Chains A and B, each alone.
Chain A
Amino acid sequence: MASTTLNSKTPKPKLELRKYLSSPGLLFLIIVTQVPFIVAIYFSFTNWNLLRPTSKGFMGVSQMFRNYGRILTDNTFYSVIWNTLVLTISVVVITFVLGLALALLLNRPFPGRALARTLLISPFLMMPVAAAVLWKNVMLDSSTGLISYYLHFFGVNSFYAPQAFPMPTIIAVLSWQWIPFVMLILLAGLQSLPDSTLEAASIDGATGPSMFRFIVLPHLQRFIEIALLLETIFILSEFGIIFVITTGGPGIQTTNLPYQIFLEAFSRWNVGRASAYGIFAVVLANIIIVLFLRVLNKSDEVETAA
């Protein structure tokens, strides 16, 4: 008994086993996230369609890429990729510009600042499908929407934005939700900038614009990268707002990759092709994820070096 107490001052070999406490969690995560992906790869080589139960099966080595071939020779694919990129890039650019402007506005002491911040983060917290219902029915509806009412003063009658400008409508609603996200992260970046740095720069004669260009912006770079890459990853997966406001239409004008997968899987029940589309989505996301992890690693190095 006494000897155990003495030994416990030095790390016991038994404690080394504690590193395996992470195993159940990691195992769970592998099963839930990696197994379906492997199954998706297999499905993408089959011609399985749930509407034709007999069609279930691996297509053979010579035929296994048929789903990919079909997708790549179909114009729908290029429209869907185009829509996905237009949507993602537009939202990221808009939210970056406005999110940065709002972060700068909030990064100064003024009465009501806490209230302004609280109001500003609210759109991001809102359940996306509820936000979509709000915009579709309460704000934009051609006869009962608040915005349509005010438009009639400008001679625009029974205007329904999701029909007239489908993609810009989706971009606008998504931007409304994501501006707070970018703002919050850039505000955290601005607030981590030491006052002493700004004072030193102003003593050295730096004024507003040059201070922003040479002191604030370089400091913000890491925050900007993290915010925009994370946002990109999540906007690439956007589904709910499109589902509610435009259902991918008119035609396929607002069909992005997740919505196309949803259509292939749950209205055409084409397991093979939906899985192949899914692989494209994973590849696209992984490109951004790799960039994101690189930024994280790089900033870790900067931190340890400093």
Chain B
Amino acid sequence: MRQSKLTGNLLTVLTLFIAFAMFFPILWMFMTSFKTEAMAISFPPKFFFTPTFENWRVAIFESPFLRYLRNTVSITFFSTILALVIGIPTAYAMAFYPTKRTNSSMLWIMSTRMLPPAGVIVPIYVLFNNLHLLNTQLGLVILYAAMNFPLIVWMLRSFMLDLPYEIIEAARLDGANLWQELRQVILPLLIPGIAATSLLALIFTWNEFFLAVNLTSSLDAAPLSVYISTFKAAQGNLFIAKMSAAATAAVIPVLVAGWVAQKQLVTGLTMGAIK
């Protein structure tokens, strides 16, 4: 018995150590962002130091960071709204009015999420060029809405199926029309589900890079991921410490969203295949 307790403690220490080691690069980036540039590249590495906020000030206010951030925020916001607006009715029909084809439609919807974007990037580029969507936020909004549509339909349908059906039936008996049923009965009950699903959509949209880098380039449309990718080489006045500050600022919203939505993460990552 004593031995198994010792083994247990060792396993606990091992687990915490691995968790810390996996997280360490992110922590190191975070720490580097508060060092002076000289300190950031001086060795031996400093783990204790007086933090400076100078890098954050320069990386965020004296760089195009905020322009790209604004693009990311509005692209993420509008694509999620668009995906919800067309996804909620789809999920509703799939949940409450199933037909013979519902099951195969749901599987088809999921399969579109797994298509390689590289397979269609050329036609999308050419089509966008002809439709004047190249280098626009609207172009990415449309593509990201389609990217998140399967996630939203699968998750919201499963949340809708979990709703107590008597409540919906009662609303119908009271003569509620479709809009009233959705607006006053289903959506209020679905708010936690919609919030969790939107957080997951936010994670995917915020981090997306392939479509963004190939379809946008200017300050007016390109999201943060495109900006961060330019740090592959040293950029102007941004060196290691300032680069770390910008990269940290770019990942914090998603880290927080993921930590908050931890419970729904597995369901979201497998599109509801695992609850």
Name A residues whose Cβ lies closer than 8 Å to a Cβ of B.
4-5, 8-9, 15-16, 18-22, 24-26, 28-29, 32-33, 35-37, 39-40, 43, 102, 105-106, 108, 110-113, 115-130, 132-139, 143-144, 146, 149, 176, 179-181, 184-185, 187-189, 223, 226-227, 230, 233-234, 236-237, 239-240, 243-245, 247, 257-258, 261-262, 265-266, 271, 274-275, 278-279, 281-282, 284-285, 288-289, 292-293, 296-297, 299
Contact = CB atoms under 8 A, between A and B. Distances in A.
A19 B97 contact: yes
A224 B177 CA distance: 44
A223 B115 contact: no
Nearest to B13: A110
Given A102-B18, A134-B244, A234-B114, 17 more contacts: A21-B92, A22-B89, A25-B86, A25-B153, A26-B109, A29-B112, A39-B126, A119-B20, A127-B209, A127-B251, A132-B232, A134-B26, A146-B45, A243-B213, A261-B119, A265-B214, A285-B115
A24 B93 CA distance: 11
A152 B92 CA distance: 61
A116 to B, nearest CB: 4
20 contacts: A18-B96, A19-B97, A22-B94, A33-B146, A37-B115, A119-B23, A125-B257, A126-B26, A127-B228, A130-B225, A130-B251, A133-B228, A138-B32, A143-B41, A180-B22, A185-B274, A223-B274, A247-B232, A289-B114, A297-B107
Given A121-B258, A123-B22, A126-B251, A18 B97 contact: yes
Interface string B200-226: 000100110110011000000000110
Contacts of A271: 122, 126
Contacts of A179: 22
B90 interface: yes
B105 A22 contact: yes
Nearest to A113: B15
B266 interface: yes
A144 B89 contact: no
A116 B118 contact: no
A39 B123 contact: yes
Nearest 7 CB-CB pairings of A with B = A25-B90, A39-B123, A258-B118, A125-B258, A19-B97, A32-B146, A116-B19
A239 B173 contact: no
B18, B40, B119 interface centre (most CB from chain A within 10 Å): B119
A16, A185, A261 interface centre (most CB from chain B within 10 Å): A261
A137 B243 contact: yes
Interface residues on chain B, size class: 35 or more
Nearest to A152: B43
A129 B240 CA distance: 15
Nearest to A266: B214
A236 B116 contact: yes
Contact of B93 (A18, A134, A137, A184): A18
B254 A127 contact: yes
Nearest to B29: A134
A293 B20 CA distance: 36
Contacts of A18: 92-93, 96-97, 178
A102 B23 CA distance: 14
Nearest to A239: B210
B247 interface: yes
Given A176-B22, A285-B115, A36 B127 contact: yes
Contacts of B228: 127, 129-130, 133
A179 to B, nearest CB: 7
Contacts of A111: 12
B163 interface: no
Interface string B239-256: 010011001001100110
A133 B229 contact: yes
A134 B27 CA distance: 11
B19 A120 contact: yes
Given A40-B119, A121-B262, A293-B107, A128 B175 contact: no
A185 B258 contact: no
Contacts of A32: 142-143, 146
B90 A239 contact: no
A282 B116 contact: yes
A239 B16 CA distance: 31
Given A105-B18, A112-B16, A293-B111, A278 B269 contact: no
B26 A123 contact: yes
A279 B115 CA distance: 11
B25 interface: yes
